[in-house]
Amino acid sequence: MSEQVRKIVAVVDDDPRILESLQELLESAGYEVRLHSSGSALLASDVASIHCLITDIGMPGMDGFELRDRVRQLNPQLPVFLISGRRDLAQDEQADGQGATEFFRKPFDGPALLAAIGTALQGAKE
């Protein structure tokens, strides 16, 4: 019997509590999780091996919009989920025109996030 490859979800947030919470949620759903405290840390890793990205928008240095754009230069089909606790950033995302796979405002609904990731990964190329 062949072993199914676990999908890798990278999470980028400067808040360690959010990283821990998302790690627990994603691992409970069977995903392999890679945590990064900044966009630069993610870009210094093996970006080509991830299947999905969840990133906070409001981070010091490189924000989530810039990170999404840089990662999409490497992998245009990568599902990207943007998260933020600020309502005005949600409006910026809608005006941005680049479009993330989906936007979630903190605190977000864990089952809804997992459902959205599952749907995105079903449609993504291996």
What pLDDT does 37 receive? Answer: 96
Q: Average per-residue pLDDT in the chain?
A: 86
Transcribe 29-91 into DSSP letters: TT-EEEEESSHHHHHTS-GGG-SEEEEESS-SSS-HHHHHHHHHHH-TT--EEEEES-HHHHH
Instruction: Determine the Cα–Cα distance for residues 16 and 22; give it in Å rounded to an integer.
Output: 10
Higher pLDDT, 93 or 114: 114
For the residues 65-93, what does the mean pLDDT come to? 82
The confidence band for 5, taking pLDDT boundaries of 50, 70 and 90, is confident
What pLDDT does 50 receive? Answer: 96
Nearest to 121, CA basis, from 50, 48, 71: 50
For residues 101 and 51, is the Cβ–Cβ distance under 8 A?
no
Residue boundaries of the structural domains of the chain: 8-123
Query: Would you give the DSSP letter of residue 103?
Result: E
The confidence band for 20, taking pLDDT boundaries of 50, 70 and 90, is very high
What pLDDT does 103 receive? Answer: 85
* pLDDT one-digit tens code per residue, 43-54: 999 899 999 999
For the residues 86-102, what does the mean pLDDT come to? 56
What pLDDT does 1 receive? Answer: 41
94's tokens: 């809608």
Instruction: Specify the pTM.
Output: 0.87
Q: Topology of 8-123 in CATH?
A: Rossmann fold (3.40.50)
